[in-house]
A and B are shown apart, each in its own frame.
Chain A
């Protein structure tokens, strides 16, 4: 398996523009997570889905952020409009046991977002 695939790997955009980050989870996994990592705040859980349904979005910083999972093999995280403080590395992760004890999350390589 190719693992969790994120695109793009790097994104540079101007303040005010819309940004869409994409994630393809590992086939057969039923949970998907979006994290954001910055030096100041570390790794933050933004939202997670189980069986394509958003379960907990309490980590989404504000209404400018939205996430969707239209099917089991694809998810997007959208920022509209983007701001310089959104600059971070965004990770997507997936796991194959939604609520079981042996939940191993597999992470993608991340998208480094820079908003200028």
Chain B
């Protein structure tokens, strides 16, 4: 399975865009990038996923570089409720395994 590297922590002002980077330089052609987040004491929550095209949904946008070696999760207007640990995960196609790393702890401040 491809490994991911994320910064340990980040801060963001409320109302500003939060850009969370993820490095997955060993990703293979059939591996998807998933983002989940975990708000304190709760179970992880799915945010978005992609293969090679940029993706957007009601929660966030996912930008994947052309070589697919890195991606960025964008929360366009961060709120205090977005304070959480964000996990970037690479999932091997054909399996159900989602292997969580250490994630990025995002702190949104007023």
Question: Could you tell me which A residues sit within 8 Å of B by CB distance?
Answer: 4, 31, 33, 35, 42-45, 48, 50, 55-56, 91, 93, 95, 98-99, 101-110
Contacts and interface: CB of A to CB of B under 8 A. Distances in A.
6 contacts: A31-B96, A43-B100, A45-B97, A103-B91, A104-B46, A105-B46
A107 B51 CA distance: 23
Nearest to B42: A109
Interface string B23-34: 000000000100
Given A42-B102, A101-B32, A102-B49, A107 B96 contact: no
Interface of B: 32, 36, 38, 41-46, 49, 51, 87, 91, 93-103
Instruction: Sort A-B residue pairs by CB-CB distance and give the 8 closest, nearest first.
Output: A107-B43, A43-B100, A104-B46, A107-B44, A31-B96, A91-B43, A48-B96, A99-B94
A43 B93 contact: no
